[in-house]
Chains A and B, each alone.
Chain A
Amino acid sequence: MLLIPCPWCGPRDEAEFHYGGQAHVAYPADPAALSDEEWARYLFFRDNPKGRFAERWSHTAGCRRWFTLTRDTATGVFESEAGA
């Protein structure tokens, strides 16, 4: 199990969290101008790196806040990120 460092509550078990997927996926500036393919790319396509990956987490069983963490997908090691 991952030990996730909540910026408010400190390190907690993964079971207390909800995963929010890749971070920094910007909402399109003009959604109406997008083609179906571009819209589908925004909705469904995410990076799947081996290594550093910024992702959203919600501490659902604790302080209930959303925050962004960077995790190394190969080692499972977190580094906290400012401005979550």
Chain B
Amino acid sequence: MAERLSPLAGFEPVSAESLRIEEIPFLTQLDVRVDPKSRAAAEIGLALGVPLPTEPGTYASGDCDVLWTGPDEWLVLAPPGAEGLEGRLREACAGAHVGITDVSAQRTAVLVDGPRSRDLLAHGCALDLHPRVFGPGRCAQTVLARAQVVLAAREGDAFMILVRSSFAGYLGAWLLDAAAEHLLD
């Protein structure tokens, strides 16, 4: 069987005191579309172990992360190899008007951490990433260096960037270039 290569397989992770950049490959990603007021939405929440967050720009965490991506749309992030999750969600809301799609191959994840992570992202992102505005539990779909990304703030200074696989090489190169000045000291 051919070896499975992630979109950023050739990316050399950055590991400095001020900044850490690494890919988190092969996350299981599901796109869920359902009316948030319906019974099916509640049942999906129960099956996930996390209720679907209804506040725009937030995500909920449990066994998996559930990111708000629209008023009737969520992105579920689960550890690699969680193939059974899609089936379990389908079972939980069988027959209801729901869309559940595996989009694991659509995007790859990049983790940016360290005290300079906000400075790094500010080079190419117009959002205010100050922890007071964009703290842990907040997510946003926006553009980073003109590439469409999903950005999620984790604990401390960590950010998860979800970028389309075909843009991952470009964004990886851009991140390294933007990081250069923060790696000098």
Q: Does B141 contact A (CB under 8 A)?
A: yes
Q: How far is the CB of A7 from chain B (nearest CB, A)?
A: 9
Q: Does B57 contact A (CB under 8 A)?
A: yes
A62 and B71 contacting across the interface, CB-CB below 8 Å: no
Interface string of A5-29 (1 = CB under 8 A from B): 0001110110110000000000000
Q: Does B140 contact A (CB under 8 A)?
A: yes
Instruction: Report if A61-B142 is in contact (Cβ < 8 Å); known contacts: A8-B70, A8-B71, A12-B126.
Output: yes
Q: Which of A8, A10, A61, A65 contacts B143 (CB 8 A)?
A: A61
Could you tell me the distance between the alpha carbons of A81 and B69 in the complex, rounded to whole angstroms? 22
Residues from chain A with Cβ under 8 Å of B79 in the complex: none
Residues on B facing A (Cβ under 8 Å): 56-57, 69-71, 73, 126, 140-143, 148
A15 and B57 contacting across the interface, CB-CB below 8 Å: no
B142 and A16 contacting across the interface, CB-CB below 8 Å: yes
Q: Which of B56, B126, B142, B148 contacts A8 (CB 8 A)?
A: B56
Residue ID in chain A nearest B143 by CB atoms: A61
A15 and B143 contacting across the interface, CB-CB below 8 Å: yes
Could you tell me the distance between the alpha carbons of A63 and B140 in the complex, rounded to whole angstroms? 9
